Amino acid sequence: MIEKRFDAEMLYSRIVHYYVDKRGYSRDKANAIAQGIIEREAMRRECKDVRCGHSMNDHIRNAETCLVVKCECRRFAA
């Protein structure tokens, strides 16, 4: 199963709108929160194998195989 691509811009926009509209935070505070969440999510979706470092989108999840041709990584390390 290949997961849906991580759309950072869409998630960022949704987070900012949530904190501004629903929680009443200032635009600056909402942007800071969104930036932290996006950074954390990007790191979470990255292969932890030091030889690889590619995103989860470049791996086949079931087989845990890297799709990048010239990569030493043989399986996704979460």
pTM > 0.75: no
Tokens 């935070």 belong to which residue? Answer: 25
pLDDT band for position 77 (cuts 50, 70, 90): low
Q: How far apart are the C-alpha atoms of 61 and 77, rounded to whole Å? A: 11
Strand partners, 46: 55
Q: Please, what is the average pLDDT of the chain?
A: 78
Q: Is the pLDDT of residue 6 over 80?
A: no
pLDDT in tens, 15-72: 999 999 999 999 999 999 999 999 998 888 777 666 676 666 666 655 566 666 667 6
10-19 contacts at long range (C-beta below 8 A, 24 or more positions apart): 11/37, 11/38, 11/41, 12/38
Neighbours of 30 (CB within 10 A): 19
Domain edges within the chain: 1-45, 47-78
